Structure 1
């Protein structure tokens, strides 16, 4: 049965469910397994539904939700409004999950339209949307401040998706670099399926956007592109592998436990699909390694990472995730060995994250001169630069006694990334928090003051 709904009002004037039915459906929803453990989302939905039922739908704003549901002092309102925006995206995903499982037989359906907080309450016949993971919900404290120019990256990402998905009748691409594929290999893929070639190109574009990973807008652009690759060819493993890596990264970086669990579940499903489609590829194996790292499953993460490195020793993007898993596990010598071997055999036009990982490993092995050299080479060759690399470079100079350079980098970190707590982040990432503590101690010796 179809729906007739008045889109100008969050509640349908004609044929809308009775208030008692709405409240009964709401209680079933918040008591469901889908919403178990998500008290804040339960409170959010109950509030906006009750406000709508009481005729105050037009007055629902992020500020009113922040004040009435989350509470706190006036000085905290700005930050809490950001949390409201995050939770609105999470609530939309949870509602979609609920109506696809526990609530699939419900006669009364709740929607939270994008762009607002007043709910729509509908009769059955509504087909729920799939969870929308392109809206990356993250609180301000969970992420570093995006760098200047990131909007351009997002635009490029969306333009890339629109371009590749807008036409299936393209001439054979020119000799572009697609993950080391030769022109003949690309020609063969194109001959078999132009859509597959589009998916390959999209997925490899997304790989270049993941790092520096502390920029949420950059991750959002990458996730959009990987999802575009899946839509072009859902039998191509790369879209799933890339999506798994981005979702797991979000899970690691966010301080929101509900969002982290949602993203981990999503990443796990995507990684398993990549393995199912292409278990012999280093990319699939490295995606599964990263998901296991995000879960804290260290033995499995290391096993998948080492297998990925053996399968794809010259794939720089595979090496990025392999080196990070091994770095955080404390396998510093192995990180350096893998990086040095790759640099001796691969001619690179720019630097990659595995070279940053090598610099970090040298710091923890107390080879501070080697660490400085590694990070400076990354900078000179246009590699990923962010608060993490600046922090390690600062700490290395401090341990070498180069106090002026360390002080300058300390001021730069505080100025460019005033909210960054890389010291706390690395205590969380390492299997042994002592390594994160060592970094934080050296940073504080350089007069870096952690943001409160």
Structure 2
């Protein structure tokens, strides 16, 4: 940074005031746990204060703040852009809350990284010479806003209550087709593009469940991205995009590219929350984005909240079960995936039946694992190398050695070069469960193919 040419700075607050403002922002709830956003903010503020705002680029932030070398410029620039969006949103939230009365406001305008300072003049307190009180225009405006807020809250409450009466009647009761039709009609009232966005998300939502391969994930992501372009305010498009990007992140090694995907998943999950926080899909998206970042407490909170909102939503069940089993909470997995709770619902395409089989395997209930994994196949559930590997291992551990070997031959024929085990090591929170699976497969005669 020392060799940069200094450019004349505009009129700015004094250095002490800037430091105090930065300290207050960084100590607030929205920034305290986000060290990278703190570093980003301090860097652009100080650079701007020192007169170098016009020389702040994505590359300089990547090098000076993230210490990423120039040969990573493409990935790093993407990461900086994502963080810039997060920073702008975090500042907006701060000034809408704890910083609403701050004299100095810091802005990072879209399209640039230099800071912009807004200095509010301190107002003298109103004189108290009147013997009676009369509401002024500001008070009247606040009162009107309060009345409007109450009215809006009442409408929202009626809508949410109606939603819950329709969707969450009973875990065993399938959502009525009329409800789906009503949702489409509601979108049609907005615009044909909104209907098309809704239809794309409905199509994409089932698209990445049959397997966790790169191609179906990329195709699902393209559908969700198109839906976002058609209707950027539709929460489902953002929620689905957050989930599929979260899946994609597990196919990458740690590094800048994976970090960028994690940030992008979080961004779209937060966008879904902004447009409809009370929907189960939004909460599941927040849960999966948190799990991909390995924030297990936050992931579990949002996954459980999704099921509280819509206990009959099998997609919410999928993500709750997936997060539970991958984080080692096998009892939770089994409790939320009891097939009796969803006996009358179409189970094809849903992951939770595999999750309960995996959970039972790691709890030592190998017969139960076999039953769950076979039931998944019978009901048209997802089928791929992972659940087939667990079926082989469960048969091996249950003493069904001949059947395990027969299944292994089918596995070798269908997936001769797969290294599902490497993917599972990145997927599970701990290595031990994958070690147990691989040991059982080797007992049955499986050897990892050469990569």
Deviations 1:164-189 (A, max 9, x none): xxxxxxxxxxxxx9998332343233
Equivalent residue for 1:243? 241
In structure 2, do the counterparts of structure 1 residues 411 and 30 end up closer, same or farther at CA, with 3 Å as the change threshold?
farther
Deviations 1:267-292 (A, max 9, x none): 11111111111111111111111111
In structure 2, do the counterparts of structure 1 residues 188 and 272 end up closer, same or farther at CA, with 3 Å as the change threshold?
closer
Equivalent residue for 2:369? 371
CA positional deviation for 1:383: 1.5
Q: Secondary structure at the match of 1:401?
A: coil
CA positional deviation for 1:403: 1.6
CA positional deviation for 1:253: 2.4
- Residues 372-387 of structure 1 mapped to structure 2, 5 A cutoff: 372-387=370-385
- Is there any run of 5+ residues in structure 1 with no aligned partner, and where? 1-27, 46-90, 103-127, 129-176
CA positional deviation for 1:98: 6.9
Inter-partner Cα distance in structure 2 for 1:236 and 1:341: 32
Residues 332, 365 of structure 1: 8 Å contact kept: yes
Determine whether 1:433 maps to 2:431. yes
In structure 2, do the counterparts of structure 1 residues 311 and 301 end up closer, same or farther at CA, with 3 Å as the change threshold?
same
Deviations 1:329-356 (A, max 9, x none): 2221221221115743542162411111
Q: Secondary structure at the match of 1:226?
A: helix
Determine whether 1:193 maps to 2:191. yes
Inter-partner Cα distance in structure 2 for 1:259 and 1:44: 9
Q: Decide which of 380, 390, 393 is 1:392's aligned counterpart.
A: 390
Equivalent residue for 1:52? none
Q: Secondary structure at the match of 2:381?
A: coil
Q: Which moved more, 1:374-383 or 1:288-297?
A: 374-383
- Residues 262-301 of structure 1 mapped to structure 2, 5 A cutoff: 262-301=260-299
Determine whether 1:420 maps to 2:448. no
Inter-partner Cα distance in structure 2 for 1:310 and 1:247: 25
Inter-partner Cα distance in structure 1 for 2:72 and 2:284: 37
Equivalent residue for 2:60? 32
In structure 2, do the counterparts of structure 1 residues 259 and 415 end up closer, same or farther at CA, with 3 Å as the change threshold?
farther
Equivalent residue for 2:300? 302
Equivalent residue for 1:216? 214
Residues 371, 396 of structure 1: 8 Å contact kept: yes
Query: For the aligned residues, what is the CA RMSD?
Result: 3.0
Inter-partner Cα distance in structure 2 for 1:375 and 1:361: 11
- Residues 139-158 of structure 1 mapped to structure 2, 5 A cutoff: none
In structure 2, do the counterparts of structure 1 residues 242 and 225 end up closer, same or farther at CA, with 3 Å as the change threshold?
same
Inter-partner Cα distance in structure 1 for 2:312 and 2:217: 24
- Which structure is larger by alpha-carbon Rg, 1 or 2? 2
In structure 2, do the counterparts of structure 1 residues 273 and 99 end up closer, same or farther at CA, with 3 Å as the change threshold?
closer
Deviations 1:67-100 (A, max 9, x none): xxxxxxxxxxxxxxxxxxxxxxxx3x65567799
Deviations 1:108-129 (A, max 9, x none): xxxxxxxxxxxxxxxxxxxx9x
Equivalent residue for 2:226? 228
Residues 59, 76 of structure 2: 8 Å contact kept: no
Deviations 1:139-160 (A, max 9, x none): xxxxxxxxxxxxxxxxxxxxxx
CA positional deviation for 1:317: 1.6
Deviating above 6 A after TM superposition, structure 1's stretches of 4 or more consecutive aligned residues are 96-102, 177-180
Q: Secondary structure at the match of 2:298?
A: helix
Deviations 1:9-32 (A, max 9, x none): xxxxxxxxxxxxxxxxxxx98962
Inter-partner Cα distance in structure 1 for 2:81 and 2:308: 43
CA positional deviation for 1:223: 0.4
CA positional deviation for 1:231: 1.1
CA positional deviation for 1:391: 0.9
Q: Which moved more, 1:435-444 or 1:221-230?
A: 435-444
TM-score, normalising length: structure 1? 0.61
- Is there any run of 5+ residues in structure 2 with no aligned partner, and where? 1-55, 85-110, 112-174
TM-score, normalising length: structure 2? 0.61
In structure 2, do the counterparts of structure 1 residues 31 and 334 end up closer, same or farther at CA, with 3 Å as the change threshold?
closer
Q: Secondary structure at the match of 2:250?
A: helix
In structure 2, do the counterparts of structure 1 residues 179 and 34 end up closer, same or farther at CA, with 3 Å as the change threshold?
farther
Alignment length (residue pairs): 306
